[in-house]
Amino acid sequence: MPLLARSVQTPLHIDVRRGAVADLGRILADGRISAGGDVAVVVGPGQGERIAEMIRPSLGSADVYTTTGGTLDAALELAAKLRSRSYDAVVGIGGGKTVDAAKYAANRWGMPMVSVATSLANDGIASPVASLINDGVKGSYGVHIPYAVIVDLDFVENGPERVNRAGIGDVISNISALADWDLGREIRGEPVDGLAASLSRVGAEAILNMPGDMQDDVFVTVLAEALISSGLAMAVCGSSRPCSGGCHEIIHAADTLYPGTASHGELAGLGALFCTFLRGDERRFGQLSDCLVRHSLPRTAADVGLTREQLAEVVDFAPKTRPDRYTILEHLTLSPDEIRRKLAEYDDAVANR
């Protein structure tokens, strides 16, 4: 992933509650975001379009653009449309694909971007990263962190529960990513940013053992705040390191070898659990496993529709997706036969929880 500019800037507004979208017009009136009220609203098909229609009276002369697919080509096409007139800011309303396309397009022309999330699938809500598919492979592109982040629990509630639950897997995978970062410091002398690590850890620890589920407003609010905190962690340190280790190498490998296997967050939880097993950290393994079970998230190859042999291929390929990153996968340098043996032991450990 391209190195991100180190910045401790945080969003001007973070609003997580029911009815938050109704205040979008007031937020855009902040002169630091929009001096004249000329904004471009980017939506995905479905709920994003409905929200845009609902808030249109408060947006004045805003133009609405629809984007689909979550590809680099779609983001570039959107960026070209944004040059049709001089906009003060870009508002992305929808799920991860829509918000990432809006982030990338806004960043291309140096425009402030406001993230209005309708799902809690991953930490892209407030991150300085846009995940986009290019030539069939999902890549990560450094962008500016959103100037404001809005999560309206009314719209999250109306989204698919499986999509929102996946965000839990992405948040708790921070535990594994931070362990990999510490490993990089121990073995390679890699610097670790304490503030970024704290921002990443606090949300993960909050969700790891927190009671409640996606029907509980308190739990959903903490999940949303944890995902936002992950984005801030990446912005602070200038890379995705605080939230991305061997767990995310496994995600990118699965997306490359077996696209459509499962969502980002579902694979993050599975990848984090397997990497924690490889470290031999029984306490963390138990915590992560129990959390995944509690929220009906995948733990094994079969849970995401893969065979053990296919998952072994994914794990073997994973280090190639981030050649600059040092994780437990690079540290152990397991052969294909050793990976298969470890996966068999892992399945036994999961079955015995």
The better pLDDT of the pair 135, 227 is held by 227
Q: What is the pLDDT of residues 11-49, one digit of tens each?
A: 888 999 999 988 888 888 888 888 777 899 999 887 777
Q: Residue 46 is encoded by which pair of tokens? A: 């479905």
- For residue 59, the one-letter residue type is L
Residue 186 CB partners (closer than 8 Å, separation 6+): none
Query: Of the given ranges (10-24, 105-119, 260-274, 303-317), which has the lowest mean pLDDT?
Result: 10-24
pLDDT-derived band of residue 9, with 50, 70 and 90 as boundaries? Answer: low
CA–CA gap between residue 71 and residue 166 (Å, rounded): 21
Residue 2 has pLDDT above 50, yes or no: no
User: What is the structure's pLDDT at 46?
Assistant: 76
Tell which wins on pLDDT, 51 or 220.
220
With a cut of 90, say whether residue 349 has pLDDT above it: yes
Write out pLDDT tens, residues 178-212. Answer: 999 999 999 999 999 999 999 999 999 999 989 99
pTM of the predicted structure, to 2 decimals: 0.92
Give the residue-averaged pLDDT of 336-349. Answer: 98
Question: Half-sphere exposure of 262 toward its Cβ, with a 13 Å CA cutoff?
Answer: 30
Give residue 85's pLDDT band: very low, low, confident or very high (50, 70, 90). Answer: confident
Is pLDDT at 337 greater than 70 in this prediction?
Answer: yes
Three state DSSP letters for the chain: CCCCCCCCCCCCEEEEECCHHHHHHHHHCCCCCCCCCCEEEEECCCHHHHHHHHHHHHCCCCEEEECCCCEHHHHHHHHHHHHHCCCCEEEEEECHHHHHHHHHHHHHCCCCEEEEECCCCCHHHCCCEEEEEECCEEEEEECCCCCEEEEEHHHHHHCCHHHHHHHHHHHHHHHHHHHHHHHHHHHHCCCCCHHHHHHHHHHHHHHHCCCCCCCCHHHHHHHHHHHHHHHHHHHHHCCCHHHCCHHHHHHHHHHHHCCCCCCHHHHHHHHHHHHHHHHCCHHHHHHHHHHHHHCCCCCCCHHHCCCHHHHHHHHHHHHHHCCCCCCHHHHHCCCHHHHHHHHHHHHHHHHCC
Taking the C-alpha atoms of residue 41 and residue 231, their distance in angstroms, rounded to an integer, is: 22
Residue 1: pLDDT over 70 = no
Query: Residue with structure tokens 């936002």?
Result: 228
